[in-house]
Amino acid sequence: MWGAATLAFASAAVTLFWTVGGTLLLDTLGGSLEDFARERSLETLAVGGAIVVLKVTAGLLALALLGRGAGRLRRRALLIASGAASALLLLWGGANVLLGGIVLAGVITPAGSTDGHALRWHVFVWDLWFVVWGALLAVALARHRRPAS
């Protein structure tokens, strides 16, 4: 639970940093994501802010799994939301790590140009971060579902 929450809040902090104008490691996003983040437009601020809110909410969701005294309806909603978040993180991160790894291994060559620097960061850091976060959330969910001994 704490691990999933920590990764969620750290991810939110990185996104917030980029949203408010930070540029450190922004080149590791690559392509249209990097271009969008560098725009500094109202749209960029709105999207970045929404992503920060989602990530913080995901962190709070992980922390909510620490509590055992919730009512039946609240507990069911928490389990559904946690399961959906875990699945989304695992699928998104896993697919990107797999596809990026295949490209890095030279098994397939994308039609357009590829930013190898950004792709390595996605495979080994950013997208893998989603996989680990999703796995930790799944473990927290499984622990929460187990009856207290």
| pLDDT, tens digit, 9 for 90 and up, residues 107-122 | 999 988 899 999 999 9
Other beta carbons within 10 angstroms of residue 106's beta carbon come to 7
Segments in the chain forming alpha helices (H): 2-19, 31-39, 42-64, 72-104, 116-121, 127-145
Percent above pLDDT 70 for the chain: 95
Q: Is the pLDDT of residue 69 over 80?
A: no
SS3 label, residue 111: coil
- Residue 147's pLDDT is 60
* ∠ CA 15-22-118, rounded to 5°: 70
- Between 9 and 40, the more confident residue is 9
